[in-house]
Amino acid sequence: MKPIIVLIAVAIAGAGLGVGFLNAPSIEVVSQDVGVGHDTLTAPVDTAWVGFHITAIAGNQGFFKNQYDACIVKVDQYLDPGAIIFCKLTDMAGNIVAEGKTVIGGSGLSPFDTVTIKPLTKISTGSLMVNNIQDVTIVIQDAIMPSGN
Please give the pLDDT value at position 14.
Answer: 40
Contact status, residue 109 vs residue 117, Cβ threshold 8 Å = no
Is the pLDDT at 26 greater than 70, yes or no?
Answer: no
Integer Cα distance of 45 and 8 in angstroms: 11
**pLDDT for residue 131 is more than 90:** no
**Which amino acid does the sequence have at 36?**
V
Strands 135-141 and 64-75, by their bridges, are unpaired
Residue 25 within any structural domain of the chain: no
29, pLDDT greater than 70? no
Please report the pLDDT score of residue 82 as a whole number: 93
Contacts of 51 (CB under 8 A, 6+ apart): 19, 20, 21, 22, 71, 72, 73, 74, 114
84, part of any domain: yes
Whether 94 is in a domain gets the answer: yes
Number of domains forming the structure of the chain: 1
Q: Which residue has the higher pLDDT, 116 or 14?
A: 116
CATH number, domain of 66, equals 2.60.210
Q: How many residues does the chain have?
A: 149
93 within domain boundaries = yes
Residue 62 binned pLDDT confidence (cut-offs 50, 70, 90):
confident
Task: Say if 28 falls within a structural domain.
Answer: no
In a domain, 58, yes or no: yes
- Which of 52, 43, 106, 104 lies closest to 77 in space, CA to CA? 43
Quote the pLDDT of residue 33.
45
Over residues 81-98, the mean pLDDT reads 91
Residue 137 lies in a domain: yes
Q: Residues 52-61: what's their mean pLDDT?
A: 84
94 near 134, Cβ under 8 Å? yes
- What is the pTM for the complete model shown? 0.69
Identify the domain containing residue 56 by its residue range.
Answer: 5-14+43-141
Residue 51 or residue 25, greater confidence: 51
In a domain, 148, yes or no: no
State phi, psi for 130 to the nearest 5 degrees.
-55, -40
